[in-house]
């Protein structure tokens, strides 16, 4: 059942229009400079996140795993992340925890020995028999640097086989945070995270997963035949997430509708440490393979570096605050 669902997710994302809402990037502008003060060639896009060095501040976000097609996708994308010095997150590892035969579809260290690699478990599974042991297995089995616990109530409600008991998860999440030896990231899934969601969580970082990109309501309603479209863009837009969660002082990943290097630059100007993308990877990979992904990535990186240059930012941290709201 889980493996079939993973196949559905990839095929729907690759073939259908599954975006909805506005992440908010069009409502802000970067603080442009006509005299940047240095050479474009001097722009340095390297950064650090949770102690790991990146050559470029981008995460290839969690998409899938558990099937042959998903395994090939993960290997290919992780290999690109290795080449360009990016981060990479695997899809939910519940399929692997419950069926050891698919574990290899999540393993990418053979092609990406140096990347920041994030394991992934649904936070709601902590109310369905999962605990520290399963979270540790998710991390150790793929040699991950961190664990993402994703919060996806909207997706679960629309999913025919969804798990919807989100009662009293805070103490269970915090137990995982205390007992794991790697950082834990709270991860939104297309409807965003706000202050009330995460302020009592002892997580090390937050991946906002805001409204404005992939809509899991669209994906899951397409699978189930539920015709309700009222929740396609329900939740907190990405820019609003960044503005609200910035006061926590924790590292942020800006995901949800990041579609250009300019969006990524705006995200970092608003306080994010990294930007994250998923859907563009799926669309490009399944239409043109790894070469199409690399072509898309090259353009994205040029846009980001140009945004840095035109704001007089020669290190990634120089972008902080260079935004006009």
Distance CA(203)–CA(185), nearest Å, equals: 6
**Could you read off the pLDDT of 128-142 as tens digits, one per residue?**
999 999 999 999 999
User: Of the candidates 304, 293, 295, 302, which has an alpha carbon nearest to the alpha carbon of residue 254?
Assistant: 304
Q: Whose structure tokens read 């393979």?
A: 289
Distance CA(325)–CA(322), nearest Å, equals: 10
Note the CATH number of domain 16-59+120-324. Answer: 3.20.20.70
> In this structure, what token pair is assigned to residue 152?
């996806």
Percentage with pLDDT > 70 across the chain: 98
Q: CB–CB of 239/25 below 8 Å?
A: yes
Cα angle 232, 19, 212; round to 5: 80
Residue 197 CB partners (closer than 8 Å, separation 6+): 151, 186
Q: CB–CB of 176/139 below 8 Å?
A: no
Other Cβ atoms closer than 10 A to 259: 16
To the nearest whole number, what is the mean pLDDT of the chain?
Answer: 95
pTM for this structure?
A: 0.96
pLDDT category at 1 given cuts 50, 70, 90 is: low
Other Cβ atoms closer than 10 A to 250: 16
**Could you read off the pLDDT of 180-238 as tens digits, one per residue?**
999 999 999 999 999 999 999 999 999 999 999 999 999 988 787 787 899 999 999 99
Strands 47-49 and 52-54: antiparallel
**Could you read off the pLDDT of 51-82 as tens digits, one per residue?**
999 999 999 998 888 899 999 999 999 999 99
pLDDT category at 10 given cuts 50, 70, 90 is: confident
pLDDT category at 9 given cuts 50, 70, 90 is: confident
Strands 274-277 and 58-60: parallel
């Amino acid at each position: 059942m889980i493996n079939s669902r993973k196949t559905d997710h990839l095929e729907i994302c690759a073939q259908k229009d599954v975006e909805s809402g506005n992440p908010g990037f069009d409502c802000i502008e970067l603080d442009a400079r006509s005299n940047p003060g240095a050479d474009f060639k001097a722009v340095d896009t390297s950064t650090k996140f949770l102690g790991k060095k990146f050559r470029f501040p981008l995460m290839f976000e969690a998409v899938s795993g558990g099937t042959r097609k998903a395994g090939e996708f993960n290997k290919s994308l992780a290999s690109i992340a290795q080449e360009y010095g990016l981060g990479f997150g695997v899809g939910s590892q519940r399929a692997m925890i419950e069926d050891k035969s698919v574990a290899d579809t999540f393993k990418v260290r053979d092609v990406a020995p140096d990347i920041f690699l994030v394991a992934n478990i649904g936070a709601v599974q902590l109310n369905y028999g999962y605990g520290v042991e399963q979270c540790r297995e998710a991390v150790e089995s793929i040699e991950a640097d961190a664990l993402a616990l994703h919060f996806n109530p909207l997706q679960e409600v629309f999913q025919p086989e969804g798990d919807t008991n989100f009662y009293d998860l805070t103490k269970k999440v915090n137990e995982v945070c205390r007992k794991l030896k790697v950082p834990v990231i709270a991860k939104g899934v297309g409807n965003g995270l706000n202050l009330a969601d995460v302020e009592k969580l002892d997580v090390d970082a937050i991946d906002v997963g805001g409204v404005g990109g992939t809509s899991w309501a669209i994906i899951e309603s397409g699978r189930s035949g539920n015709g309700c479209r009222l929740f396609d863009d329900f939740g907190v837009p990405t820019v609003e997430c960044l503005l609200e969660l910035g006061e926590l002082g924790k590292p942020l990943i800006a995901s949800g509708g990041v579609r250009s290097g300019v969006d990524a630059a705006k995200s970092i100007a608003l306080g994010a440490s990294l930007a994250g993308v998923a859907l563009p990877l799926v669309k490009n990979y399944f239409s043109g393979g790894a070469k199409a992904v690399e072509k898309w990535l090259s353009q994205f990186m040029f846009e980001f570096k140009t945004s840095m240059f035109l704001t007089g930012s020669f290190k990634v941290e120089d972008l902080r605050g260079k935004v006009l709201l």
